[in-house]
Structure 1
Amino acid sequence: MNDSEHLGRFLEVWSAISADTIDTLDQIYDENIAFSDPLHHVQGLSSLRQYIANMYENVTEVRFSFSKTLVDDDQACVEWVLRYAHPRLRGGEPIDIPGCSRLEFTEAGKVIRHRDYFDAGAFLYEHLPIVGSIIRALKRRLSDD
């Protein structure tokens, strides 16, 4: 299996991920996976499974859609949009957050490093009642300059 096939399997698993399919992460991640995003860092497959399980506890929808990919040797980058809905954010309406994942594969084709890049403010903080209005105002002011 080549790196494009490894990336294809990664996309397949994440496209179907749900609270009931978290065990499929074993198919794509090395036992020593280092995962980070703007809000968390976890080390090890069991910690990653727990982090993903926690993600599903309070949401009514979580779905990734993937667009552009780039593969170079044992590394890949993937652009995506996360759609999620939380009953206490934006009145439970879906929120779309664009992002990108940088992946590093082992020789066996499993992901050993996974780093997500996305706007944490757009993900969470902008949708909180008081903090959100402050962040949105700051973004507008910065974009006007």
Structure 2
Amino acid sequence: MSKDISDPRLIRLAMAYETLHPARLDDLVSLYSDQAVFKDPFNEVRGRRAITRVFSHMFKQIKEPRFTVLEGASNGYNAFLLWELKFLRDSGQTMAICGTSYLEFALDGLVLVHRDYWDPVEEIFAKVPVLGSIARYLQRKLSATP
């Protein structure tokens, strides 16, 4: 974890993500408000129970996921975390997804809004053999640069 993070709320959250595994999922989710909204490119859910389902599903879908928090910043009740998620593909090759999370904290210091921003086309689909060629073609076609 980056040593630049000074906000205790972000430190707790970063530590929970960096030590996350199925047996510690409750530790992470306890840092979220009962009515927290969590959104990423594949999910939009509300509440601790639904957030738990999202991460339980992640553990079923990918092997050995590990988050590393690279940077963090906060301004009052708003914050950002820059992170990397590494996991193993079926082939044993390590994959990495880089992203950022926008956070809003409630008055009690719990996460009220968690919005992840990362590009599933670049980070996942472009690395899958058949989908990758289609994704790269579309990226070239839609790019403003030749």
TM-score range, shorter chain: 0.7 to 0.9
The residue number in structure 2 matching 1:63 is 66
Q: Which residue of 2 aligns with 1:120?
A: 120
Distance in 1 separating the partners of 2:43 and 2:85:
16
TM-score w.r.t. length of structure 1? 0.88
> Whole-Å Cα distance in 2 between the matches of residues 64 and 45 of structure 1?
20
Q: Percent identity?
A: 27
Q: Matched residue of 2:21: which SS?
A: coil
Per-residue deviation at 1:140? Answer: 4.5
Offset at residue 92 of structure 1 (A): 3.5
Task: Give the 3-state SS of the residue equivalent to 1:92 in structure 2.
Answer: coil
Alpha-carbon RMSD: 1.7
| 1:123 Cα deviation from its structure 2 partner | 3.2
TM-score normalised by the chain length of structure 2: 0.87
**1:143 CA displacement:** 6.9
CA deviation map 1:68-96 (0-9, x unaligned)? 21110011001111112231xxx331111
Aligned residues: 140
**Structure-2 separation of matches of 1:76 and 1:43:** 19
Q: Name the SS for the 2:20 alignment partner.
A: coil
Task: Identify unmatched segments of 5+ residues in structure 1.
Answer: none
What is the aligned partner in structure 1 of residue 24 from structure 2? 21
Hey, what does 1:8 align to over in structure 2? 11
Query: Contact between 1:58 and 1:86, CA under 8 Å: does it hold in 2?
Result: no
Kept in 1, the 8 Å contact 2:69–2:83? The answer is yes
Letter in 2 for 1:41: E
Shift of 1:26: 3.4
Note the C-alpha offset of 1:39. 1.5
Aligned counterparts, 1:77-96, within 5 A: 77-87=80-90, 91-96=91-96
Preserved CA contact (<8 Å) 2:29 2:51: no
